[in-house]
Amino acid sequence: MYSMRGWWRGALLVVAGACAVPSAQALDPEALARAVAEDTEARAASDDPVLAGLEADAQATAVDAIGGDPARPHGPTLLERVAGVDGLYAALGGREGIARFIDDTVERSLVDARIAGFFANADIPLLKQRLTDQVCQLAGGPCVYEGADMASAHAGLGIRSAHFNVLVEHLQAAMRAAGVPVGARNRLVALLAPMRPHIVGR
Amino acid sequence: MTGRLPRWLGFALALCAGAPDVAVADPGGKLVGAAGVTQFEGAAGGGLVPWALIGSYATEDEIGAAAFTTALVTGDYRLRATGVLVGFHDRVELSYARQRLTVGAGVTAAVATALARAFGAASPPQGPGAADLDVDVFGAKLRLAGDAVYAQDTWMPQLALGVQHKRHRDFDRGLRLPAVGATGVPALLGAADASGTDVYLAASKLLLGVPAGRNLLLDLNLRASRGNAFGLLGFGRRVVDPASGAPIDRRDDGWRLTVEGSAAIFLDEHWVLGGEWRGQANRLDRQPVLAALGDGRLARERTAWDLFVAWLPSKRIALTAAWVDLGRLPFDGAAAGPYLAAQVAF
C-alpha cells in the first residue's frame, strides 16, 4: 500500500510534468505541429474504427469544402506539385497579409455594380473571415476552412464566368496594392482555379 | 496603306465604334490576355499561329468582337492584313481578313529580266513595278473541349477545330511580263488554284504561375493545307509545258500536314513575351519553270518563326511588335523583318 506521503510526491511529479510539456511545445511551434500531426495519424490509424472514420470524415469535409481533392489536402495543381508549393503562404504575407487583401477584395467587390448584388444577403465580416481561412489553408498556412462547400455556398446565385472573372480581377488588384509579388499572385489564382466549376453556372 | 480595303469593312468598324455605350464600355468578361491577339490570317492567336482560344473577350453569355491590323516589312516584300472577328459565347469564332502581299519592284524587275533572257524576248525598258496580291481569308473556329485558363488541375488543353478559306483576288493578274504576258505571281510560280481551305486542330494551355511564378501559354497545332507560303502564293502545284500549256507534273498538288506552335510568357498582367514557329509544306520547290528564272529553288519554303512582345494595357487594346522570319519568299532568301500589329476589342 502506498503511504499518503508517497502518493503526494507522485501526483506532484505528474502535475509538474503536465505543466512542463505544453509550455515547451508552445515555445516550439514546429514540435507542436509535429505532435499534432502524429496525434492525427495515430488516431486515423488507430484500431478504433469510429475514431479513424471521424478523422477521415473531418479531413474530407474540410478539403471538399474548399473544392479540393481529398488526396491532395491543400489542392495544389499538377504543376505546383512538380514545381513545389513553397513559401506561398509567406509570400502572401501570412494570415495578416491575406486578411488585408481579402478585406480589400471584398470591399472592391461591394462597390462594383457588376457583382455587388451577389453579396446582398451575405454576412460580410464572416465572409471575409471565411475567405481568409480558405486562402490561408490553400496556400499551406495553419488555418482550417470551416465554411460550406463551394457548390452549396454559391447554389442558385446564377454566377457566370464574367462575374467570377470580375472577382479574380479585384483579387489581383488587391494583391498588387498589398505588394504581393507577381509570382505569388499567379500561384494563388492557379490554386483557386479548380473551384470555378463549383461556383459558376449554379 | 490599306488601299482597297472593302468599304463594308470600314462601315462595320465604324458601327462597332459608334455602338451604344454599354457595348463599347466593356469588351467582355474574360481576363486580360485570355483572348490572345489576332494572327495575320484573322484568327485569334499569336501573330503567325492561331490558338485554341476563342477570340474577343466574350464569355459564355456574351458576344464580342475584335478588329486588327498588322504590317510586316521584309527587304522586297510588304505584308499587310486587316480584319475583324466575332466571338460567340466563348464557343464559336468567325473572322474575315484581307491580306495584301506587295511584291517589290526589285523582285518583279528581276523576274522580267530573267524571263526576257530565258525566252529571248526584249528586255523591258523599266520593270513591271510593284505587284499587289490580295487575299480574302474567311475563318471559323469551334472550341471542342477544355478550358485553357481555368483547368489548372489537369494536363488537358483547350482544343479547337478551325478552318480558313482563302481566296486570291490576283491569282493570274497583276503583272505584265515579257514572253508570258499578263499573269500573276502565284500562277507564275506554279500554283494550281486561286483558292483553298486550311483545316487545323489547335491545342492551347495556360500554365498559371509555373516558370518563375509567371503564366505561360503553350500552343500546338496540326494543319492540313494545300497552300504555298501560307496560301499567299496560291494553292497546290501545277507544272505546265510553256509551249502547249498542257500540265506535265501534278506531284505535290495535294494536302500536306504541317505543325505550328507558340510559347508565350506573361511577364505581368500587361506584358507578354513569346515566340512562334510555323512549318511549311514547301511544295513549289524544284519547279522547272522557275529554273528559267535562274533559280529552280526560287520558291523553296523554310519554317517561319517569330519573336514578339505584346502590350495589353486593357481589354480594349493590344499592341504587338515582333521580328518575323517568313523563311523564304521568291527572290528574297531571308524574308525577315519587323512586324507591328494593333487590335481593338469590342
Interface pTM, i.e. ipTM: 0.81
- Distance between CA atoms of B309 and A51, rounded to whole angstroms? 58
- The pLDDT, as a whole number, for residue B247 is 73
How far is residue B309 from each of residues B69, B312, B339, measured CA to CA in Å?
A: 16, 10, 10
The answer, for B215 touching chain A at a CB cutoff of 8 Å, is: yes
**Å between B163 CA and nearest CA of chain A:** 27
Residue with the three cell numbers 474548399: A66
- For chain B, the distance separating the N- and C-terminal CA atoms, rounded to the nearest angstrom, is 24
Q: Where are any strands of DSSP class E within chain B?
A: 37-38, 44-45, 63-73, 77-88, 92-103, 131-145, 158-168, 175-177, 181-183, 195-207, 215-225, 239-240, 247-249, 256-266, 271-278, 304-311, 317-325, 336-345
Of B30, B153, B213, which has the smallest distance from its Cβ to A165's Cβ? B30
The answer, for A46 touching chain B at a CB cutoff of 8 Å, is: no
Whose CA is closest to B281, among B254, B253, B306, B256? B256
Chain B partners within 8 Å of A190 (Cβ): 152, 208-209
pLDDT per position as a tens digit, A36-94: 566 666 655 555 656 555 555 555 555 555 554 444 444 455 655 554 456 899 999 99
Task: Give burial (CB, 10 Å; 0-12/13-18/19+) of B330.
Answer: buried
- Distance between CA atoms of B97 and B9, rounded to whole angstroms? 10
3-state secondary structure of B228: coil
Query: Tell me, what DSSP letter sits at residue B149?
Result: T
Q: Mean pLDDT for each 10-residue chunk of chain B (346 residues)?
A: 50 50 65 91 95 94 94 90 96 97 85 76 75 94 94 92 95 77 78 93 93 91 93 85 70 87 92 95 71 64 92 94 87 84 95
The percent of residues above 70 in pLDDT, for chain A, comes to 57
The answer, for B121 touching chain A at a CB cutoff of 8 Å, is: no
Of B62, B207, B209, which has the smallest distance from its Cβ to A162's Cβ? B62
Q: Taking the model in full, what pTM does it have?
A: 0.78
The answer, for A83 touching chain B at a CB cutoff of 8 Å, is: yes
Q: Do the Cβ atoms of B125 and B93 come closer than 8 Å?
A: no
Whose CA is closest to B319, among B343, B302, B286? B343
Of B29, B62, B210, which has the smallest distance from its Cβ to A79's Cβ? B210
Q: Do the Cβ atoms of A174 and A101 come closer than 8 Å?
A: yes
Contact call for A75 and B61, based on CB within 8 A? no
- Distance between CA atoms of B282 and B301, rounded to whole angstroms? 5
Chain A partners within 8 Å of B62 (Cβ): 162
pLDDT per position as a tens digit, A78-133: 655 554 456 899 999 999 999 999 999 999 999 999 999 999 888 999 999 999 99
